[in-house]
């Protein structure tokens, strides 16, 4: 399973093809319409990653496997090839065209369920007052917003301030310097209930817009 669209090596598990001529590595900022130079960089980047895996990651993982499970199991690289199914958090309508074998399945949005309980009153009022729609922005638990370089944080805030939508943002604090008026910060937010808000369609379109703005910056 992959919580994102999948790194290029996820394709190896089920023999899915991923031509570097038009499928960019997830760690690069390229689109499917790459120049020759970008295709070359994309190909070399994937190759260097694979070489690094052979020389560093696999030996390290093999050592951990042996320490915990002994020598009975196959080599970790062979274990990966024994996968029967790969599930990735991606939607074909929000990504570039790509070939997929039946065992490589996009399941983006499957975690979104109807709200189980009402939103807290302050959040309900904030979202209901978003006449132009709203954006829910969260970097999850893997990245602390306070660790972002100042220029990146300022770029986000400038992009948010330029939008007519209200922004509901998970952050390490309830406020920050230079916080735009249309941005509400919280250290914890009920994600399922927010995603089940009745203005969800506008929220999705707004999220696409902010991603484009930040990438272009």
Domain extent for 102: 8-106
Residue 172 lies in a domain: yes
Based on the domain organization, do 138 and 53 belong to the same domain?
no
Q: Is 178 part of a structural domain of the chain?
A: yes
Structural domain includes residue 13: yes
Is the model's pLDDT at 209 over the cut of 60?
no
Q: Are residues 148 and 88 in the same domain?
A: no
Per-residue model confidence (pLDDT) at position 217 = 44
pLDDT tens, 61-89? 999 999 999 888 899 888 888 888 999 88
Asked if residue 190 lies in contact with residue 173, where contact means CB atoms within 8 angstroms, the answer is no
Instruction: Check whether 202 has a pLDDT greater than 60.
Output: no
99 shares a domain with 128: no
Here the tokens at position 141 are 């638990």
The CATH number covering residue 136 comes to 3.40.50.2000
State the average pLDDT over residues 189-195.
Answer: 81
Residue 166's beta-bridge partner residues? 134
Look at 12-21, 112-121, 208-217 and tell me which has the smallest mean pLDDT. 208-217
Query: Are 102 and 128 members of one domain?
Result: no
Domain count, the chain: 2
Mean pLDDT in the chain? 83
| Percentage of the chain exceeding pLDDT 90 | 22
Residues 102 and 139 in one domain: no
Mean pLDDT, residues 103-125 taken together: 82
Q: For position 41, what pLDDT does the model report?
A: 96
Q: Do residues 20 and 91 both lie within one domain?
A: yes
Q: Is residue 138 domain-shared with residue 212, that is, in the same domain?
A: yes
């Amino acid at each position: 399973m992959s919580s994102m669209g999948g790194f290029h090596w996820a394709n190896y598990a089920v023999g899915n093809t991923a031509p570097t001529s038009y499928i960019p590595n997830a760690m690069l900022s390229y689109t499917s319409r790459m120049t020759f130079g970008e295709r070359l960089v994309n190909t070399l980047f994937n190759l260097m990653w694979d070489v690094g895996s052979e020389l560093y990651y696999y030996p390290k993982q093999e050592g951990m496997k042996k320490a915990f499970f002994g020598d009975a199991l196959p080599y970790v690289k062979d274990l990966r090839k024994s996968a029967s199914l790969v599930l990735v958090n991606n939607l074909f309508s929000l990504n570039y065209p790509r070939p997929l074998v039946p065992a490589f399945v996009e399941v983006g949005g499957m975690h979104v369920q109807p709200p189980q309980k009402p939103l807290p009153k302050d959040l309900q009022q904030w979202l209901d007052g978003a006449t132009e729609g709203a954006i829910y922005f969260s970097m999850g638990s893997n990245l602390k917003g306070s660790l972002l370089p100042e220029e990146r944080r300022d770029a986000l805030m400038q992009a948010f301030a330029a939008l007519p939508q209200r922004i509901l943002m998970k952050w390490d604090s309830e406020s920050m310097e230079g916080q735009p008026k249309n941005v509400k910060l919280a250290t914890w937010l009920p994600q399922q209930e927010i995603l089940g808000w009745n203005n969800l369609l506008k929220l999705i379109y707004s999220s696409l817009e902010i991603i484009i703005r930040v990438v272009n910056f």
